[in-house]
Amino acid sequence: MDFPTELISYLHAATRVAVLTGAGVSQESGLRTFRDAQEGLWAQYRPEDLATPEAFDRNPRLVWEFYAMRRLKAGEVLPNAGHIALAEIENRFPAFTLITQNVDGLHQRAGSQSVIELHGNITRARCSKCDFFLEKWADSGDDVPPCPHCGGLLRPDVVWFGETLPAQALSAAIEAARHCQAFFSIGTSGLVQPAASLAFAAKERGAVIVEINAEPTPLTPSADFFFQGSSGKILPQLSRALN
């Protein structure tokens, strides 16, 4: 891919860069994107109907099992060339913030240092009653494991529809978006708020908006540069072009 010289020169001079990633970045690692159909047993459910507090209240075991399956899968796959290129690109900028909506931990496994997790992380659990956080727990057969403190049901430490995002992560993301000179939106459909507003907050403050996605999104008409294709191909090329 040929990147416009004006973009590469702009990035060479830039010191503050923010990147927002979504499920598309992990697609080439073999993880399904959020709005892709699920496989097998899960094909009958829309992910939107499993990622809500109401779904967990209705059927905690079903929701726990959906996340247990995804946790297992996320642990089996490897970061792809896109994740690795982002970890390389981070080193080129004095202030680089990677904001991810992904809950799979693949950016950290690829070596990214400064990662803001907007929607939590599937490898952690927390109590649905007392908010006690756990990195490890014993899976007790078919049942949802209980909280060691209060006996409440454990849930994945992710943000479901209708829930507020972790306050510190969100304010750090807004801060990075408002102060960056270039904002990248990569592999996200831009449908889910408040993450989808970050690019517009950056643009309002004068940042150059660069989008990388397999398909155009609602952000595309507002992007200064749109590169259509897979992030696993385009990001390594961008990393090389910045050399």
Give the footprint of ligand BJW on this chain (CB under 6 A): 22-24, 27-28, 33-35, 51, 101, 103, 119, 158-164, 187-189, 191-194, 213-215, 217, 230-232
DSSP string, 173-230: HHHHHHH-SEEEEES--S-STTGGGHHHHHHHTTPEEEEEESS--TTGGG-SEEEES-
Sign of the torsion angle spanned by Cα atoms 200, 203, 207, 209: positive
Q: Which is nearer to ligand BJW, 56 or 181 (CB)?
A: 56
Q: Which is nearer to ligand BJW, 181 or 186 (CB)?
A: 186
For residue 187, give the amino acid letter. G
Determine phi and psi for 122, rounding to 5 degrees.
Answer: -70, -20
Per CB under 5 A, contacts with Zn ion among 50-89 are none
What b/e readout covers 115-145, taking b as 16+ CB neighbours within 10 angstroms?
Answer: bbbbbbbbbbbbbbeeeeeeeeeeeeeeebb
> Which does residue 181 bind out of ligand BJW, Zn ion, none, counting CB within 5 to 8 angstroms by kind?
none
Q: Which is nearer to Zn ion, 132 or 226 (CB)?
A: 132
> Which does residue 105 bind out of Zn ion, ligand BJW, none, counting CB within 5 to 8 angstroms by kind?
none
| Least distance from ligand BJW to the Cβ atom of residue 5, Å | 24
Q: Which is nearer to ligand BJW, 88 or 211 (CB)?
A: 211
| Least distance from Zn ion to the Cβ atom of residue 71, Å | 20
CA–CA distance, 148 with 137 (Å, rounded to integer): 9
How many residues of this chain bind Zn ion (CB under 5 A)? 8
| Least distance from ligand BJW to the Cβ atom of residue 196, Å | 7
Binding flags for Zn ion, 127-156, as an x/- string (CB under 5 A) = x-xx-x--------------x-xx-x----
CA–CA distance, 241 with 243 (Å, rounded to integer): 5
Q: Which residues contact 167 (CB under 8 A, 6 or more apart)?
A: none
| Least distance from Zn ion to the Cβ atom of residue 67, Å | 18
Binding flags for Zn ion, 98-127, as an x/- string (CB under 5 A) = -----------------------------x
| Least distance from Zn ion to the Cβ atom of residue 149, Å | 4
Positions marked active-site? 119
178 and 152 Cβ atoms separated by less than 8 Å: no
- Where does this chain bind Zn ion (CB under 5 A)? 127, 129-130, 132, 147, 149-150, 152
